Amino acid sequence: MLEQEEMPTFLHELVVTWIAAALRNWVRRRHGFVVGSEAKLAVGPRRGRKPDLSLFLPRALPALPDTLIRVTPHLVVEVASPRPRDVHRDRVEKLTDYARAGIRLYAIVDPQLRSLEVYELGRDGRYAVARAAGRGRVRVPDCPGLVLDLGKLWEEVDEAERTHAHAARRRRR
């Protein structure tokens, strides 16, 4: 079963694209890959999810023709949406599904709260918060050298908001 698709906003996609670029810069030097939200991951025998981003290291790459990926990514990223149903989906349902699938790291980026949480899978099969921040340079656990500069991410979000507000004022004239 594939969950009902969410309807991403421009802000959501802006953040996804920024994170994708940062992940790609890191993972390509290690001969891995990052893919977007159309990649369907098997998270159970009859259950699939489409994370915003999935990062695969070279030791565990899916076959290129696969339409349902059964290889476990090292990291999945979800950019949170503000709707209550989506918040529950990201923080409860997906957290459970990704842990059950054995995905080592699960990151949630929340543009409204301006926060990043990185969960790391423990030996007990449950996630625990490994990093949580709203600003600064965040080192992603179990990804040596991967640092996400949240200040730069939020600067880009601010710029988009300013540009949108400026364009809206011009249209009203």
Task: Spell out the domain ranges in the chain.
Answer: 10-172
Give me the chain's average pLDDT, please: 93
Out of 65-74, 117-126, 162-171, give the one with best mean pLDDT.
Answer: 117-126
User: What pLDDT score does 164 carry?
Assistant: 86
Place 66 in a pLDDT band, splitting at 50, 70 and 90. confident
User: What pLDDT score does 6 carry?
Assistant: 66
Cα torsion angle, 87, 126, 116, 103, sign: negative
pTM here? 0.91
User: 10-172 architecture in CATH?
Assistant: Alpha-Beta Complex (3.90)
Give the tens place of pLDDT for each residue, 88-131.
899 999 999 999 999 999 999 999 999 999 999 999 999 999 99
Phi, psi of 145 (to 5 degrees): 90, -5
> What DSSP string runs through 11-58?
HHHHHHHHHHHHHHHHHHTTT-EEE-TTPEEEEETTEEE--SEEEE-T
User: What pLDDT score does 167 carry?
Assistant: 81
pLDDT mean over 61-76: 90
Is the confidence at residue 20, as pLDDT, over 80? yes
Place 153 in a pLDDT band, splitting at 50, 70 and 90. very high
User: What pLDDT score does 5 carry?
Assistant: 61
